[in-house]
Structure 1
Amino acid sequence: MPSSPGPLVFISYRRDDAAGYARAIASELSRRWGADRVFIDVDDIGAGQGFAQVIGQAVDTASILLVLIGRRWRGEREGQAPRVQDPGDFVRLEVAAGLQRGMTVIPLLLDGAAMPPGADLPPDIQALSSLQALELGNSRFAADVERLVAVVGERLGSSPVQPGRRGWIVAAAGALGAALLAGGWWARSRSVARPAIDGDWVAELRYAWEPAPRTERFHFTGEGRQLAGTASFLGVPRGLVEGEVDERLVRFATRTAEMGGAEMTHRYQGRLDDDGVLRLMMQTEGGSGPNAPLEFVARRAEAHAPR
C-alpha cells in the first residue's frame, strides 16, 4: 500500500502564546486543502508517539512552515533566558529545521505583535527576522485568513479545494458526474453523510472578561449539509447563519448587537469527534474591543446534566 502524502503546511506555535489562533488557522486550511495536508501537533501526534520524532518527520515532508508569533512567542521567563534560547525548545527546532531545509517560511504576526529582532534570536533562527510577515488581527480575522489562504495557494502552486467539496466530486465532474448530478444523486448521497449533530448541546466557555465560566447552549437542526438552529452568547440564544456541515466538520455564525449599536459576528468552526464530543473554535469579529479565538468543547445536553 503506498504511503499517504505528507502535510503541505506545518503550523509552528507556542501553546501559551497562540494556541487559539493555531487551531482556527488549522481548521480553515484543513477545510480548503484537507486535514491530512495540514500538521498541527494537537491533532497529529497520537498517544505513545514521540513528540520530537513526529514533528521532525512532518517538517521534513511539509512545503510551507507557518510561524505564529504572538506577544509571548519568545517564551519569556522570570529570571531566565527566554525559552527560544534553549537548544531543545521545540519552537526553535521547528523554525530552524524549516530555514535549513529552504522551506517557504511565513511568519504570522498576531494581534499587533512585532517581529523579534534578529539580535534577540539564537543564531540558527536569526534569518526569521528578515522574512516578509503577514498580520492577523481579531477584528479582521476572516479577511486576514483569506489573504493567508491566497498566499499559501500561490506558494503551493495550487488552488484550495472549495469549502464542502472533496477530490472525488471534482473527478466526477465529467460525463458520469453530470448524469449523477442531474438525477439528484449527489444531494441524496450528501444527506446520508450528515453527522449526528442535531439536538441540544451544552458547553462551558470562559470569556476573557468574566471571572467564572459561563454555560452556553446550542440547538442544531437541518437536512443534508444545512445547519440551522440557535447558539447562545452570554446566555441569550442567537439564530444561526451561514450554517454548514460536511462529514464531521461544522461551521456557523451568529450575530450580536452591543449597547451603542456596534454589531459583532461570532464565527464557529470545528468537528465532531469519534467519541461524540463537539470541539469548536469561536472567533468574534467587530464590537468595541479585540477578542482572541476561544476554543471549547460542547457535549450532548443529556450527557452534561448532573447525575
Structure 2
Amino acid sequence: MSQAERRQRVFISYRRADGAGQAGRLAEDLDRLLGDRVFMDVSDIAPGAEFEQVLRSELASCGAVLALIGPRWLASFDGRPQEAQDYVRLELETALAQQGLHVAPVLIGGVELPGEAQMPAGLGPLAKRQAVILRDDRWQDDVANLARELRAVLKLRRRVWPAIAAAVLVAALVSGWLLTHRTPAPAPYSHDQAAAIAVRATEKAIAACRPAPAGDCPLVFRFQPDGSAQRVYFDSGACMLKAPPFGDCVLDKLSTVRIPPFNDLDAAEVGLDLVVEQGGVAKVVPQP
C-alpha cells in the first residue's frame, strides 16, 4: 500500500470493556461505505506482530482517528498509572501529538463529551475536538453522515480512474458536448419543468440503486441560477430510504441533475415524495 493510500485510512481507537461491539459494527459499516479503509486492532494486527510497533506505524500514516467514548470510557482510566502500558492512552496521545491528523471523539451509549478537566491526564486536548454522536436508534443515518465527513477529510473519490484514461474520456466528452450543445440563455424559472426533470432523474436513480427498502421519504432539490443542483437531500429525520447503501447511491446520482438556467431567483427548490412499497414498487410524486 502506498503512503498516499495509507493517508486515506481510518484508525478506530476504543476500550474493549467499553465499546467493542459498537467499534466492530462501526468498522464494518465504514469499510463498506469508504472501501476497506479502516484499521482496528483485533482484525488488522497479524498473529505474532509486535503490538505497540504496529499501532505506532498505523497512527503515523493514517489520515483520521476516531476515539470511541462510551459509558465506561472515563472510569477505565481510573487506577491506571500514566506511565503504565495502556494502549488506548498510547493511541490517543500519539494521535493528538501529530500535526494535521484528524482526531474526532465518537460518542456512543448516550454519553456526553467529557470536559477538559475531566479528561485523563494527557488527553485534555481531545475535549476541544468536534464530537460525533452515534445513536443506536439512528445508527445508519449517523454513520452515513460520519462517512460523508470522512470522505471530505480524507479527500476520497467515489471512483478512481487511471489518470490517462480519465483525461482521454473527459476530453472526448467535452469535445462532443461543445459540438452538440450550446448553453441556453437564462429565462424565468419554471417550477413545472424543473419538477418534471427531477422526477425523471429520481425514477432513474431508484432503478439504478436497487434493491430499495420500503419507505416514504421527502426529497428536496435546491438549484442554483445556472441550473446545477446546489444540494439534494432527504428532508426527513428518520426514513429507511435514507439508509446506505441505497440512500447514498440515490443522492450521488442526483447530485449531477441540471435544469434550464433561470434569471429571476437566487435559488429554486423542488420537493418530491418518494414512496417505495413492499415488493419494490416505487412512486415519485412532485410536491405542490
TM range (shorter): 0.5 to 0.7
Q: CA deviation at 1:93?
A: 0.8
Q: CA deviation at 1:134?
A: 1.0
Q: CA deviation at 1:28?
A: 1.8
**Is 1:104 matched with 2:102?**
yes
Quick one: distance in 1 between partners of 2:164 and 2:35? 16
Q: What are the ranges of 5 or more consecutive residues in structure 2 without an aligned counterpart?
A: 170-209, 215-239, 246-288
Quick one: distance in 2 between partners of 1:115 and 1:135? 9
Quick one: distance in 2 between partners of 1:2 and 1:46? 19
Q: CA deviation at 1:129?
A: 1.1
Cα deviation per residue 1:112-150 (whole Å; 9 max; x = unaligned)? 112123223344211111211011011000010011011
- Does the CA-based 8 Å contact 1:18-1:68 persist in structure 2? yes
Structure-1-length-normalised TM-score: 0.49
Quick one: distance in 1 between partners of 2:79 and 2:127? 16
Q: CA deviation at 1:171?
A: 9.4
- Does the CA-based 8 Å contact 1:64-1:105 persist in structure 2? yes
Task: Select the structure that is richer in helix.
Answer: 2
Letter in 1 for 2:54: V
Q: CA deviation at 1:111?
A: 2.2
Quick one: distance in 2 between partners of 1:29 and 1:20? 14
The SS at the match of 2:130 is coil
The SS at the match of 1:101 is coil
Q: CA deviation at 1:168?
A: 6.7
The aligned residue for residue 93 of structure 1 is 90
The aligned residue for residue 12 of structure 1 is 13
Q: Against the structure 1 CA distance between its residues 142 and 95, is the aligned structure 2 distance closer, same or farther, given a 3 Å change threshold?
A: same
- Does the CA-based 8 Å contact 2:3-2:61 persist in structure 1? no
The aligned residue for residue 158 of structure 1 is 156
**Is 1:22 matched with 2:23?**
yes
The aligned residue for residue 121 of structure 1 is 119
The aligned residue for residue 52 of structure 1 is 52
| Alignment root-mean-square deviation, CA | 3.6
Which structure's relative contact order is higher, taking Cα pairs within 8 Å and 6+ residues apart? 2
Q: Against the structure 1 CA distance between its residues 2 and 149, is the aligned structure 2 distance closer, same or farther, given a 3 Å change threshold?
A: closer
Letter in 2 for 1:20: G
Cα deviation per residue 1:188-235 (whole Å; 9 max; x = unaligned)? xxxxxxxxxxxxxxxxxxxxxxxxxxxxxxxxxxxxxxxxxxxxxxxx
The aligned residue for residue 71 of structure 1 is 71
Q: Against the structure 1 CA distance between its residues 50 and 106, is the aligned structure 2 distance closer, same or farther, given a 3 Å change threshold?
A: same
Larger radius of gyration: 2
Structure-2-length-normalised TM-score: 0.52
- Does the CA-based 8 Å contact 2:63-2:102 persist in structure 1? yes
Cα deviation per residue 1:214-268 (whole Å; 9 max; x = unaligned)? xxxxxxxxxxxxxxxxxxxxxxxxxxx959xxxxxxxxx99xxxxxxxxx9xx9x
- Does the CA-based 8 Å contact 2:34-2:151 persist in structure 1? no
Quick one: distance in 2 between partners of 1:4 and 1:39? 15
Quick one: distance in 2 between partners of 1:15 and 1:124? 20
- Does the CA-based 8 Å contact 2:104-2:130 persist in structure 1? yes
Q: What are the ranges of 5 or more consecutive residues in structure 1 without an aligned counterpart?
A: 177-240, 244-252, 255-263, 270-307
Percent of aligned pairs sharing the same letter: 36
Quick one: distance in 1 between partners of 2:87 and 2:134? 23
Quick one: distance in 2 between partners of 1:13 and 1:173? 40
Letter in 1 for 2:23: A
Quick one: distance in 2 between partners of 1:158 and 1:4? 11
Cα deviation per residue 1:80-117 (whole Å; 9 max; x = unaligned)? x3548554211111111111003111111002112123
The SS at the match of 2:68 is strand
Letter in 2 for 1:39: F
- Matched length: 179
Q: Against the structure 1 CA distance between its residues 19 and 63, is the aligned structure 2 distance closer, same or farther, given a 3 Å change threshold?
A: same
Quick one: distance in 2 between partners of 1:119 and 1:126? 7
